[in-house]
Amino acid sequence: MPKLDRRGAVCAALLLFSAAFAGVRAAAAAPAAKEAAPILKDRIVAVVDEDPILGSDIERDAALGLVARNPGESETAYRRRILGLLIEQRLRFHEIDRFGFVQVPVDQVEQNLSEIRARFPDPAAFQRRLKELGMSENSLRQLVTRQLMVLTYVDERLGPRVFVSLDDVRAYYRDTLTPALAKAHQPVPPVDDVREKIRLILREQRLNQEIERWTDELRAKANVANYFDQGGKPLPPVVKTIGPKVPKP
């Protein structure tokens, strides 16, 4: 086999190096050429006192059936209503964080989780939906606990403001229950048989009114930005989640 002289060997080495370098450059450029356009994974749909609410939060509540759809409600109206409820929920969460820890019975949490599971045909379907939402049963349990904390707080703080008198019960029996049963051609029970049921109905109605009043007060003091209907308009570039507000010195 003929031997290359020194000059020929150097030229051959340079040619090999140039080819190898060109291959490296081509390999480095290939990913850039194939780089796909950015894909929107999530977006901010509202901000409550610098605490963002994401589109995935709406998707979670819809997918798990945490908010029932009204008859004939469009998809856009349904999701807009969910966001409104999430904003109210976030306002209440912040107030509870400022107030302090509220104990929630474990059995109540598990009961709510069982009700959510029952909305799915089988456990496997429930687990698949959690996986699609990027959630685990533990994270769902934490969410349910937070929601129940609101109810516990409301019952402890606002419940004492609600009073149902015997006259209120009789008025409901006379003006609401009796006409409704008569219209449906159903027998009207004696007032004593339904007194406690009527009292609970009236208490729940008045407690809901107190919750609405309380939430309106929280909203009036908060900084709430709702971007649901802004379409392609710019959203806040940076937001952060904060805990309880610390008074400035």
Q: Tell me: the pLDDT tens digits for 109-122?
A: 999 999 999 999 99
Percentage of the chain lying above the pLDDT 90 cut: 53
In degrees, rounded to 5, the angle at the alpha carbon of residue 102 between the alpha carbons of residues 51 and 163 is 105
Neighbour count for residue 8 (Cβ, 10 Å): 11
pLDDT on residue 238: 41
Q: Tell me: the pLDDT tens digits for 11-23?
A: 444 344 444 444 5
Q: What global pTM score does this model have?
A: 0.69
Backbone Cα Rg of the chain: 31
Neighbour count for residue 139 (Cβ, 10 Å): 13
Q: Tell me: the pLDDT tens digits for 211-227?
A: 999 999 999 999 999 99
